[in-house]
Amino acid sequence: MAVLGGVAVHAILPQIPVWVWPLIYVAIGTGVNYLGIQQTAKFDKLLVFIQLGILAIFVLLIVRLMLLDSSQITLSFRPFFDSQWFTPGLIATAISVAALNFLGFDAISTLSEESEGGGRAVSKATLLALVLATVLFIIVVAFAAFATGNVDRFAEGNAT
C-alpha cells in the first residue's frame, strides 16, 4: 500500500522521487506504533474521521452538481455496464483495484487479546467493519459513476 500511495502522490508532486513516499509512510507508521497502542488508536481514529470527511465532501459536491446542473449527471447503469467497453481484462483490473478497498478489516482480529468481550466481540467488529466498508464503497462508486456519466467526455490518452 505504501508503494501504491507513493505512485499516486508522485503523480501530484513529481519533483519528489517516487521511492521517497513509501519511506515516509513507513516512518510515520513506525513512529505512531512506537508511541504505543493508545496513541495508535487515537491516530487511527483521526485518520478515519479525515477519510470519512473527504468522502462526505466528495458525495456532497456531486449532489450539488446534480442540483445545479443536472445535464452533467447521468442516472443510468451505463457507467456500470456498457457493452462497448466491457472486456474481461477490464473486469480483472477493476477487481484488483476494488480488492484494495477491503484490506485491513481483518487486522481487527490481531487485537483480540486486548479487546473486551473476547473473540465474539472481535467477530462482530470484523463483520461490522466489512459491511461498513462495502456500503461506503458502493456509495462512493455509484456517485462517481453517475457524475462521470458518459466516458466519451474524457480526453483521449492518459490525461484523465
Helices 20-34 and 2-12, packing angle to 10 deg? 130
Query: Is the residue at 58 inside a domain?
Result: yes
- Cβ–Cβ under 8 Å, residues 102 and 126: no
Query: Is the residue at 115 inside a domain?
Result: yes
Containing structural domain, residue 73: 35-153
Three-class DSSP labels, 77-116: CCCCCCCCCCCHHHHHHHHHHHHHCCCCHHHHHHHCCCCC
Query: Is the residue at 143 inside a domain?
Result: yes
Query: Which burial class, exposed, middle or buried, applies to 34 when counting CB atoms under 10 A from its CB (0-12, 13-18, 19+)?
Result: exposed
Query: Is the residue at 101 inside a domain?
Result: yes
User: CA 22, CA 19: separation in Å to the nearest integer?
Assistant: 6
The domain tally of the chain equals: 1
Query: Is the residue at 76 inside a domain?
Result: yes
Query: Is the residue at 7 inside a domain?
Result: no
Instruction: Give, for all 160 residues of the chain, the pLDDT tens digit.
Output: 778 888 888 888 889 999 999 999 999 989 998 998 889 889 989 999 999 999 999 999 888 887 887 666 666 666 666 777 777 877 787 777 777 766 777 677 777 777 777 778 888 888 888 888 889 988 888 888 777 766 565 566 655 4
Neighbours of 125 (CB within 10 A): 17
Locus of grid cell 445535464: 71
Give the pLDDT score at 160: 47
Give the pLDDT score at 90: 75
Query: Is the residue at 10 inside a domain?
Result: no
Model confidence pTM above 0.75 = no
Query: Is the residue at 14 inside a domain?
Result: no
User: CA 49, CA 150: separation in Å to the nearest integer?
Assistant: 32
User: CA 100, CA 1: separation in Å to the nearest integer?
Assistant: 8
Give the pLDDT score at 45: 92
Give the pLDDT score at 55: 93
